[in-house]
Amino acid sequence: MTQKTVLCYGDSNTHGTRPMTRAGVLERFEREERWTGVLAQTLGAGWRVIEEGLPARTTVHDDPIEGRHKNGLSYLRACIESHLPVDVVVLMLGTNDLKTRFSVTPADIATSVGVLLAEIAACRAGPSGASPKLVLMAPAPIVEVGFLGEIFAGGAAKSRQLAKRYEQVASDAGAHFLDAGAIIEVSPVDGVHFAADQHRALGQRVAALLQQIA
């Protein structure tokens, strides 16, 4: 049986970063605890799940503090083509665009996500040179708490506007849509990352969608 391949492209919540209590201390959930790991376990042997989660990854922005390599667009095509053929790409980005230093609107973030979807479609990295199927996932709304609160000041209100905008972007691009905020919520510890039980719920929901569309 030929395995199907799903590539999950995102930020720290795709990486599986644990809720953080202070700067500079980054810990990761075990593979089977991360939503991508739950996804792999739920889908079973017929699927190969590729984790491409980079903490602090943005949609299309070079980060003036954390580095140009955090730009999600600049690495996207190389990432996908290095794993081809790819049946499905699951994209969840936008949270880091909410950082105060980027000064972007919810509309800007949604437009940036649309650029990423177009880049994925243009890759033609699916089976037989087709475009991969696309799943756009709106990130769960953030809460401004803990040491990350200042970094994301003003971002919580913006984050609550993303789902409806992402849904329209997905529709325009012919992508499937999931609203993570309708399934899970961020940890009260840092207001950005997911606890283990939330990873479990998200992975199971993504698996259910992939089983429907693939």
**pLDDT computed for residue 1 by the predictor:** 64
User: For residue 192, what pLDDT is reported?
Assistant: 99
CATH code, domain carrying 123:
3.40.50.1110
d(CA 123, CA 114): 14
Residue 87: per-residue pLDDT:
98
pLDDT at 91: 99
Q: Which residue has the tokens 């990486």?
A: 15
- 185 burial class (0-12, 13-18, 19+ CB within 10 angstroms)? middle
State the Cα–Cα distance between residues 119 and 73, nearest whole angstrom: 8
Q: Are 180 and 139 spatial neighbours (Cβ–Cβ below 8 Å)?
A: yes
Per-residue confidence (pLDDT) for residue 24, from 0 to 100: 85
* Burial of residue 21 (number of CB atoms within 10 Å: 0-12, 13-18, 19+): exposed
Our count of domains for the chain comes to: 1
Contact in structure between 173 and 5 (CB atoms under 8 Å): no
For 52-79, the pLDDT digits (tens) are 999 999 999 999 999 999 999 999 999 9
Coil, strand or helix at 50: strand
Determine the structural domain holding residue 108 and report its residue range.
4-213
Portion of the chain with pLDDT greater than 90, in percent: 97
Do the strands 4-10 and 133-138 form a parallel or antiparallel pair, or are they unpaired? unpaired
**Phi, psi angle pair for 75, to nearest 5°:** -100, -10
The secondary structure of residue 146, as a DSSP letter, is T
Question: Could you report the per-residue pLDDT of 131-147, keeping only the tens digit for each?
Answer: 999 999 999 999 999 99
Average pLDDT in the 160-170 region? 99
Is pTM, for the whole model, over 0.85? yes
pLDDT tier for residue 214 given thresholds of 50, 70 and 90: confident
pLDDT mean across residues, the chain: 98
Counting residues of the chain whose pLDDT is more than 70, the rounded percentage is 100
At 196, the pLDDT band (50, 70, 90 cuts) reads very high
Within 13 Å of residue 190, how many CA atoms lie on the same side as its CB? 18
> Which tens digits make up the pLDDT trace of 91-134?
999 999 999 999 999 999 999 999 999 999 999 999 999 999 99
Name the one residue in this structure whose structure tokens are 């500079």. 24
